[in-house]
Structure 1
């Protein structure tokens, strides 16, 4: 793709930035490499405001700022703004503190069943497809015994395309929690559980009056949390060294934070559908380092040590985007189930060490 075309596409992508979305065009996999073939944001977008067909088409006025694309993007090109996720995390915290569970519901559900608005276990989201795995993990880390995503209206909703993203989010969260030995209930459901809160009649009347409670910052502070500590936008992009600019998505940093809060993992592997991965390199790797050059998060790095080239991998920074497997022209790299211990520890593993081979040397070996 010509540089001018890349810059034009980056400018179009930046047009999605708004009240809820933060855009980092340089992180977009399709703008980093021609063979990326990523369509995650377009598949998740319920309004078709973003499409790859095959060129990027963006309609900013069609964007609902729901955040489903940010949930789907594995590289941090599209992210939910701090003000939005902080407010939602505070709502999750209040729900768990009040009832021991979380019930995610969209505006359509809340309009059809107004009693939901008066329940302290309800967390309003623009769309269930916008819920991210880390939010479910956070709810469990706070002490929730169950997390339910209401889907009764999804089949009739104009945003129904995003329902598939919600299904994947639940599956990813279930895989993560299982690896940590947690048995809390996490599922999609058509009917909200019966409210067990005492004094519901009084709250029904009180719900008609304006209420003033803790602000989002105050609620998070009550739990000893600060946005910057969890994964706010204050983190600067990593120094690329040799390669393109790297950025660990805010959602991934928040996921790591709350996985630490869950304690020690119970399994030595996480299911392959989780947003974590382990990387393996085949013996026929040539050491070209292109996987590290293009890696959006810096999980893969190439370095020169004692006259040798090393390809190193840090599982903590890998989002399981699969980018490296698609762009390796040798087919020498693959992703497998993540090792929770390596994810939490941040340890680095050398995947390959040696002297990179030239095309002539590789051809000579094949002819022998």
Structure 2
């Protein structure tokens, strides 16, 4: 259901994300933590959106598809990969980076810096993205596994750029990648800068010429001209109508009472790249990528809602033959979306930021044995519902 606010703008009601599904961004709405359960707080996409396509208005997510430039920053921050970048795809971007590599050095340039420098750049020495926020940890780890020693993300004057949030995302990704790769003993140098590295500028171009070109470009009104090729991906009326006509993915409950699980492709590619780098060192990682769930048994009511709504299956139900029931947590599959804590009715879940590296590589699985919720013998308007909960091992829940 979509409520039209004005021409091209839509309020997020349930699963309205399909309006941005286009040639630049693919929407997998069944993966979205917020779509799976409205009580989940995650709105990272809106906080990171560089163009105003996704924004918050009194706690509601407002989608103005006409503003989407296909930069992919929303896909970078989405923990469940409900948003997927297609312009270029992850595989295409990696190929472009390796093709443009100079020795073991790779340069990735945002479209605004590319437009500002123009002929000052040597053709073919940098992979191009619409926004620096498009770069994610799986790409950097993949380049490290290919033997790349330095990645420079060349980003424009973000204070005067319409994609200003992209720099923050690029910096966050760079720091996360440094920590993760460092745990695997890899020393990939990652630099986010507005200063072109040696070798990407044409002969005779000095610092003064670069600064003059950059100032002239970002002094324009509007500061950010239309992004190259963006017209192909703007979700105008015809594309928007097609998107709304496409059937939405169904969120059918599975036999165990949980919603479907999946492991994001980016997470699998990241772990594959890390495996190519060898064995990790000991210690803990504290990043945006993984979390460790702790359940307080004194508060838990055995409803197992955490497993019902966990998008990746990092929290999964178990029902043993001897009648033992509970949930098992696999930190290596956790994407730190926070769904478990947000849907827990008893506030029994804590999501730890620091995760032992060994838990990510050895398939560590932690079991939490639970007791079925007791049926009240007093005058209780919820007694029938509680009885069903007991019979179905806690798999009945209220909306």
Common fold by TM > 0.5: yes
**SS of the residue 2:365 aligns to:** strand
**SS of the residue 1:325 aligns to:** helix
Runs (5+) with no aligned partner, structure 1: 202-236, 362-368
**SS of the residue 1:15 aligns to:** helix
Task: Calculate the TM-score normalised by the size of structure 1.
Answer: 0.78
Indicate yes or no: 2:110 matched with 1:106.
yes
- The structure 1 residue matched to 2:146, chosen from 142, 145, 167, is 142
Name the residue aligned to 2:97: 92
CA-to-partner distance for each residue in 1:290-319, whole Å, 9 max, x for gaps?
111011111110121120112111223211
Indicate yes or no: 2:13 matched with 1:9.
yes
Please state how far the C-alpha of 1:67 moved relative to its aligned partner: 0.7
Please state how far the C-alpha of 1:153 moved relative to its aligned partner: 2.2
CA distance in 1, matches of 2:129, 2:348: 41
Is the CA contact (8 Å cut-off) linking 1:12 and 1:57 kept in structure 2? no
Provide closer, same or farther for how the CA distance between residues 245 and 304 of structure 1 changes in structure 2, counting only shifts above 3 A: same
Please state how far the C-alpha of 1:177 moved relative to its aligned partner: 1.3
CA-to-partner distance for each residue in 1:133-190, whole Å, 9 max, x for gaps?
1111111111111112123422221111222212211121122112212222113122
Count of aligned pairs: 317
Please state how far the C-alpha of 1:111 moved relative to its aligned partner: 2.0
Is the CA contact (8 Å cut-off) linking 2:122 and 2:200 kept in structure 1? no
**SS of the residue 1:257 aligns to:** helix
- The structure 2 residue matched to 1:340, chosen from 330, 334, 357, is 357
- The structure 2 residue matched to 1:173, chosen from 153, 156, 177, is 177
Is the CA contact (8 Å cut-off) linking 2:132 and 2:166 kept in structure 1? yes
- Higher alpha-carbon Rg: 2
CA-to-partner distance for each residue in 1:99-156, whole Å, 9 max, x for gaps?
2012111111112223435253x22111001111111111111111111212342222
CA distance in 1, matches of 2:29, 2:368: 31
Task: Calculate the TM-score normalised by the size of structure 2.
Answer: 0.72
- The structure 1 residue matched to 2:123, chosen from 115, 118, 121, is 118
CA-to-partner distance for each residue in 1:189-222, whole Å, 9 max, x for gaps?
221221199xx87xxxxxxxxxxxxxxxxxxxxx
Runs (5+) with no aligned partner, structure 2: 4-10, 204-250, 378-399
CA-to-partner distance for each residue in 1:233-263, whole Å, 9 max, x for gaps?
xxxx999442112222222222122121221
Provide closer, same or farther for how the CA distance between residues 171 and 8 of structure 1 changes in structure 2, counting only shifts above 3 A: closer
Q: Residues 1-368 of structure 1 correspond to what in structure 2 (within 5 A)?
A: 9-53=13-57, 54-81=59-86, 84-96=89-101, 98-113=102-117, 114-120=119-125, 122-195=126-199, 240=254, 241-271=256-286, 273-284=287-298, 285-305=300-320, 306-336=322-352, 337-345=354-362, 347-358=363-374, 360=376
Provide closer, same or farther for how the CA distance between residues 314 and 132 of structure 1 changes in structure 2, counting only shifts above 3 A: same
Please state how far the C-alpha of 1:11 moved relative to its aligned partner: 4.7
CA distance in 1, matches of 2:252, 2:191: 36
Provide closer, same or farther for how the CA distance between residues 249 and 81 of structure 1 changes in structure 2, counting only shifts above 3 A: farther
